[in-house]
Amino acid sequence: MSVILIDANIEGQGALIWMRMQTAQWRDFTADLNVTVRTFREVGLDPASPDDVAWRFCQAQGYYLLTSNRNEDSEDSLEATLRREVTPASLPVFTLPLPDRVYHSRAFLEHVVEKLLEYILDADNIRGTGRLYVP
């Protein structure tokens, strides 16, 4: 099973993306890839967890992290953690740079869903990339 863990700051966007994955257009493909979406609370992770803790949790569980976080404000920031800890076997972080756009543009939401599923379909070839942008 491929789990996409939605960062606490984009739970609403993540719910919308998941709902779109469950529509007639995407449902079979999503099921064939055995993709599911979870929140921090659903997997027992504190929503206030520092970025490095969330990233290591995802790596240990085999989850893809979907976030809008792109900064390098501190040593425990996601970007600093990726630069320091990514290995060739690491799962990438999916980054949604314009998270609110999924609310306002159906075409953008479609591209996000398509890109996420495309990345998961190519799972063996995206390890070690650190960060991949969606769409």
Domains of the chain are: 2-133 (3.40.50)
Cross-strand partners of 66:
6, 94
Q: Which residue has the tokens 């290591």?
A: 56
| Cα gap 71→114, rounded to integer Å | 25
Q: Copy the structure tokens of residue 55.
A: 């990233």
Reduce the DSSP state of residue 30 to 3 states and report it: helix
Q: Encode pLDDT of 95-107 as tens digits.
A: 999 999 999 999 9
Q: Report DSSP letters for 70-112, one per residue.
A: ----STTSHHHHHHHH--TTPPPEEE-SSTTHHHH-HHHHHHH
The model's pLDDT over 25-41, given as tens digits with 9 standing for 90+, comes to 999 999 999 999 999 99
In 3D, which of 31, 37, 30 has the Cα closest to residue 16? 37
Stated pTM of the model: 0.94
75 band by pLDDT with thresholds 50, 70 and 90: confident
Question: What is the spatial order of strands in the sheet that 2-6 belongs to?
Answer: 35-39, 2-6, 63-67, 93-95, 131-133
